A = this chain, B = another copy of it.
Amino acid sequence: MSEATRVLLDESRIPRAWYNIVPDLPAPPPPPLHPGTREPVGPEDLAPLFPMDLIAQEVSAERFVAIPDAVRDVYRLWRPTPLIRARRLERALGTPARIYYKYEGGSPAGSHKPNTAVPQAYYNAQQGIRRLTTETGAGQWGSSLAFACAQFGLECEIWMVRASYDQKPHRRSLMQVYGATVHASPSPVTKAGSAILAENPDSPGSLGIAISEAVEVAGGADDTRYALGSVLNHVLMHQTVIGEEALEQLAAFGETPDLIIGCTGGGSNFAGLTFPFIREKLAGRISPEIRAVEPAACPSFTRGRYAYDFGDTAGFTPLLKMHTLGHGFVPDPIHAGGLRYHGMSPLLSHMYELGMFQAVAKGQRECFEAGVRFARTEGIVPAPEPTHALAEAISEALRCKETGEEKVILTALCGHGHFDLNAYDRYLSGAMEDFELPQDRIEEALATLPGV
């Protein structure tokens, strides 16, 4: 076991291929269905929204997809990211466990999202597309796509949920620094937005509305496509650069993982970290437990149903078989905006049904407590999303303190919290709520399932 604290890799070690886990699964995941015909969607259904290369990746049967040189060349700005042993946290906990975290917060946008934004912008530019549209809630995804578009000379048009647009002007400014156009959603520039504004001029908006607007504009113009920051297979695959690097780095530490923990919202960060390790596990080379952590306020794995549902609130997208609380579910306003999604990646949902990993849910106060503990020992202030994984890593390390077990725990610190200090302020002042989620609210939301 190495004495190092951080293992860095030279840029020549940026992975040369993304890993596609689908062909390694014992059964393929159920296909998305067309919302009208309820037949499996084909490439032609997706072509108005995505470029052909990404559609091909979405349904690829190849285990590895080569990363284009132009994409690796942008990755070089911040990749490989460091794998860090949390020695100071371990010491403060008095645990015999060894905790490693893969830190993605050093990217230009401060999170793991550029790992997929960059190839998405690249493939669109290759196909001659001129403009990308997307939606963003808190702004992590929007700023990542704006950065990526700047790299490939694409215009970027973003619909940002009105409530965030007003309350988080800094995230909006970040997108604009990268040259993007940002609309408060609902906006008067789309039919979907105009209709909602006509009914309620003061609508605070929602991610569902913002998706509708971005999709409407992309679908209505030949030179424009849409980009999604999580959930879909190709997005999860792009994130596997995290796990591929971590595999090499953990080996450089001389370690084999016993437990791998990641937070789940749409699932891209969790998949990015774990898929390469699951590949090695399936091959019998390692045998770690794998654990997803979701917010108790939005518990799609632990309290949702595995069923076909819409990806958006409005019911415009294809139907996806996934763990979902129902597309009518409106989560309480927890600060981990990236985890407030009613559904879950269909691929991860399928793997969960196959028993390939566990899931637990946590309240946000425990998570922020972990975030503060982490900041005071390791220095980095974590974004609210990865505090969920850190809280579980800390619980587990404290269990090891009881048992004396020298467990090797690996987790992903997928973003820094410099944009989330108002949430920490709320926690430190004692004003942060732990929302209860009564079963009848879940039942009510599940009643919005389309019953396919």
Considering the complex, which residues of chain A in the window 419-435 have a beta carbon less than 8 Å from any beta carbon of chain B? Answer: 419, 421-422, 424-425, 428
Cross-chain contact B375 with A177 (CB below 8 angstroms): yes
Interface flags, A64-107, vs B, CB<8A=1, else 0: 00000000011011100000100010000000000000000011
Measured CB to CB, the closest approach of chain B to A438, in angstroms, equals 32
A6 contacts B by Cβ under 8 Å: yes
Interface flags, A171-183, vs B, CB<8A=1, else 0: 1111011110000
Considering the complex, which residues of chain A in the window 149-175 have a beta carbon less than 8 Å from any beta carbon of chain B? Answer: 150-151, 169-174
Question: What residues on B are CB-neighbors of A375 within 8 Å?
Answer: 108, 150, 177-178
Cross-chain contact A428 with B5 (CB below 8 angstroms): no
Bound together, the chains give a CA A65 to CA B147 distance in angstroms of 42
Cross-chain contact A76 with B6 (CB below 8 angstroms): yes
Cross-chain contact A428 with B169 (CB below 8 angstroms): no
A379 contacts B by Cβ under 8 Å: yes
A380 contacts B by Cβ under 8 Å: yes
Question: What residues on B are CB-neighbors of A106 within 8 Å?
Answer: 106
Question: What residues on B are CB-neighbors of A173 within 8 Å?
Answer: 421-422, 424-425, 428
**Interface residue from B5, B77, B169 paired with A77 (Cβ < 8 Å):** B5
Cross-chain contact B5 with A8 (CB below 8 angstroms): no
Measured CB to CB, the closest approach of chain B to A371, in angstroms, equals 8
Considering the complex, which residues of chain A in the window 367-399 have a beta carbon less than 8 Å from any beta carbon of chain B? Answer: 371-372, 375-381
Cross-chain contact A379 with B108 (CB below 8 angstroms): yes
A110 contacts B by Cβ under 8 Å: yes
Question: What residues on B are CB-neighbors of A27 within 8 Å?
Answer: none
Interface flags, A119-153, vs B, CB<8A=1, else 0: 00000000000000000000000000001001100
Question: What residues on B are CB-neighbors of A419 within 8 Å?
Answer: 418
Question: What residues on B are CB-neighbors of A178 within 8 Å?
Answer: 375-376
Cross-chain contact B147 with A379 (CB below 8 angstroms): yes
| Residue count of chain A within 8 Å CB distance of chain B | 49
Bound together, the chains give a CA A280 to CA B4 distance in angstroms of 31
Cross-chain contact B77 with A381 (CB below 8 angstroms): no
Bound together, the chains give a CA A78 to CA B424 distance in angstroms of 22
Given that A11-B6, A177-B381 are known contacts, is A376 also in contact with B150, CB under 8 Å in the complex? yes
Measured CB to CB, the closest approach of chain B to A326, in angstroms, equals 35
Question: What residues on B are CB-neighbors of A10 within 8 Å?
Answer: 8
Bound together, the chains give a CA A11 to CA B108 distance in angstroms of 23
Interface flags, A15-55, vs B, CB<8A=1, else 0: 00000000000000000000000000000000000000000
Bound together, the chains give a CA A77 to CA B85 distance in angstroms of 9
Question: What residues on B are CB-neighbors of A169 within 8 Å?
Answer: 421-422, 425
Bound together, the chains give a CA A424 to CA B170 distance in angstroms of 9
**Interface residue from B4, B6, B108, B377 paired with A381 (Cβ < 8 Å):** B108
Question: What residues on B are CB-neighbors of A174 within 8 Å?
Answer: 381, 418, 421, 424
Bound together, the chains give a CA A4 to CA B110 distance in angstroms of 23
- Which of A106, A173, A416 has most B Cβ within 10 Å? A173
Question: What residues on B are CB-neighbors of A107 within 8 Å?
Answer: 379
Bound together, the chains give a CA A378 to CA B150 distance in angstroms of 10
Cross-chain contact A76 with B5 (CB below 8 angstroms): yes
Cross-chain contact B6 with A179 (CB below 8 angstroms): no
Question: What residues on B are CB-neighbors of A150 within 8 Å?
Answer: 375-377
Q: Which residues of A contact B (CB under 8 A)?
A: 4-6, 8-11, 73-74, 76-78, 84, 88, 106-108, 110, 114, 147, 150-151, 169-174, 176-179, 371-372, 375-381, 416, 418-419, 421-422, 424-425, 428
